Amino acid sequence: MFLPIPSPLRHALLAGAFALFWAVLPATAADAPGYARVPVVVEYDVDPSWPERPERLAPWGAVTGMAVDGEDRVWVLSKCDDPVQVYAADGTFVRTWGRGQFDSPHCIRIDRESNVWISDYALHVVQKYTPEGELLLTLGVRGEKGDDTTHFNRPTDMAITRAGDVFVTDGYGNRRVVHFGPGGKFIKTWGSYGTGPDQFVLPHAILVDSQGTLYVGDRNSGRILLFDQSGKPVDQWSGVIMPWGMSITPGDDVWVCGSSPHWWRRHGKYCEFKDQLLMRFSTDGRVRQVWSIPLGDPKNSKPGETIGVHAIVQDSLGNLYLGDAYGNRAQKLVPVTARPEPKSG
């Protein structure tokens, strides 16, 4: 049985409790602030001085492809008179090539033997080059579109396996994946227009991980579809991001850039970007990291903003490099895990 506490005593006890609370609050706040002393979130700052472009180079057009080679050199693919540009991680210019060789270069990949692969959707080809720009192989027929074993219709990207097989997203026109052997011999194709597990709306990017699984970024449907190398569906990640550009790290982290999910067409019009997102996935589809970038103004875009982020790659130090298709530039984002506290007084 509990005896009631008289009101005056109850008020005195409450007052004492509040006094004790306020007395210990400053010490508690100092000992346990409402933020992590050592941040567990990685932020990114843009390096506005990257890269150091020589004045003699033509102005950048749309930057739709980027790659990082084994020496952490960054390859930039742009629709301009100097389409292939190579820079060191610190921004130092290395070389350029490709003048007059492309019409609409779209994606660039580097294989395990340091060969450079470039898709050109206007010329309907995927081509393999030496790092110095010597042409080694052409898949497709230059200037001819089709949907047979020797033609593409506006191909978007390519993935090269450890064994040398090549998988091409024949995306803007045919909505399929085409598989070639190491020497460029046609093996098979799969896919058609649609939203089924083995169909595509617009296969825009493709990767292969260390286990041989293929990842296809079906941009306009907001899906990333996984396949084995025979074309059998393995998994599907949907409703998370509109995948524009994709890359994979040596540890099989999948980086994707684009925008948050939306209908590609609404009220009879194609939708503009609503935002700009970078996401890192593990191979089981779990989102491990998200970073958003301000959506720039096409008339006055600033460093650290993008208008149409189209390509994303990471170097061995964790720096991210972005290609902006509508902002006409490449940018470097530097990871930040600590910032100095402002001095008091």
Q: b vs e for 205-233, b when ≥16 Cβ sit within 10 Å of the residue's Cβ?
A: bbbbbeeebbbbbbbbbbbbbbbebebee
Phi-psi region for residue 61, left (φ > 0), alpha (ψ -120 to 50) or beta? beta
Instruction: Quote the mean pLDDT of the chain.
Output: 92
- For residue range 286-304, what is the model confidence (pLDDT) as tens digits? 999 999 999 999 889 899 9
Domains (range + CATH), the chain: 43-336 (2.120.10.30)
332 DSSP β-pair partners: 321
Full strand arrangement of the beta sheet holding 276-281: 242-248, 254-259, 276-281, 287-293
Confidence of residue 2 (pLDDT cuts 50, 70, 90): very low
pLDDT in tens, 150-160: 999 999 999 99
What would the pLDDT profile of 231-263 be if each residue is shown by its tens digit?
999 999 999 999 999 999 999 999 999 999 999
What are the tokens at 57?
């180079």
Task: Look at the pTM and tell me if it is higher than 0.85.
Answer: yes
DSSP 108-172: EEE-TT--EEEEETTTTEEEEE-TT--EEEEESBTTBB-SSSS-BSS--EEEE-TT--EEEEETT
Predicted pLDDT of residue 13: 52
Quick check: 131 pLDDT over 90?
yes
